[in-house]
């Protein structure tokens, strides 16, 4: 942890989140633009990473993977920040572990596209989503208990978690019957993505100004 402390003394944790988001967008936006018939109602995020389906699939996957690494660094830095503000050491490490596991899910999603590695891709989704929901609720609780955080800041975690849960519900429904709520599932995936990106940016901005 001492080595990490030295890193975060030189580079604020927020910047890892900001840089990670920029890298993701650098990979995602061009991939969206070149994707045939791209639509928020019919194109899954993972479709952008399938070679043959997207001309920038490998580029997008590399950016997605690097984003996951930066998110891990942000989570570690955020954990350090919460501990410095007086949050429970045990509770912050639990939230940290959940956050890191969820970020590992991002790495897996980048490595295993939905066409060539369907089963592994599904596992990666579970690794990302379930810990993701738990770490958002954990951070909501930790922030609520700290006077440093206003109530609205803690509630943002709950709102983002709602989009995670919405997608999971639609994902499970669609697994039962692949003809049900397909477009709603695709849209929900993009909504949770944008909300998750917002969480990193907003949380990073909040702790940066503090």
Q: How far apart are CA 103 and CA 66, in angstroms?
A: 11
Spatial contact of 143 and 157, defined as CB atoms under 8 Å apart: yes
Which residue, 44, 23, 20, is CA-closest to 32? 44
DSSP string, 138-199: HHHHHHHH-TTS-HHHHHHHHHHHHHHHHHHHHHHHHHH-TTSSHHHHHHHHHHHHHHHHHH
Residue 22 token pair: 């920029």
- Does residue 179 surpass a pLDDT of 80? no
Most confident listed range (35-39, 142-146, 183-187):
142-146
pLDDT band per the 50, 70, 90 thresholds, residue 170:
confident
Which residue, 125, 132, 80, 83, is CA-closest to 107? 125
Report the predicted TM-score, pTM, of the whole model to 2 decimal places.
Answer: 0.88
Instruction: Write the CB contacts of 91 (distance below 8 Å, at least 6 apart in sequence).
Output: 138, 141, 142
pLDDT at 44: 85
**How do the domains of the chain map onto residue ranges?**
2-209
pLDDT tens sequence across 90-123: 999 999 999 999 999 989 988 887 777 878 888 8
Q: How far apart are CA 55 and CA 48, in angstroms?
A: 9
């Amino acid at each position: 942890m001492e080595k990490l402390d030295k890193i975060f003394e030189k580079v604020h944790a927020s910047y890892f989140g900001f840089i990670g988001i920029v890298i993701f967008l650098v990979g995602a936006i061009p991939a969206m633009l070149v994707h045939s018939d791209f639509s928020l109602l019919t194109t899954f995020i993972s479709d952008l990473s399938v070679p043959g389906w997207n001309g920038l699939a490998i580029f997008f996957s590399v950016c997605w993977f690097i984003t996951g690494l930066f998110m891990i660094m942000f989570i570690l830095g955020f954990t350090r920040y919460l501990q410095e503000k007086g949050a429970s050491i045990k509770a912050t490490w639990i939230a940290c572990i959940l956050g890191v596991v969820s970020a590992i899910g991002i790495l897996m999603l980048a490595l295993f596209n939905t066409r060539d590695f369907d089963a592994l891709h599904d596992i990666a989704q579970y690794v990302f989503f379930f810990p993701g929901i738990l770490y958002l609720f954990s951070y909501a609780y930790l922030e609520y208990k700290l006077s440093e955080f206003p109530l609205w800041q803690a509630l943002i975690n709950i709102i983002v978690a709602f989009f995670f849960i919405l997608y999971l519900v639609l994902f499970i429904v669609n697994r039962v019957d692949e003809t049900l709520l397909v477009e709603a599932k695709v849209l929900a995936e993009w909504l949770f993505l944008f909300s998750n990106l917002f969480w990193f940016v907003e949380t990073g901005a909040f702790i940066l100004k503090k």
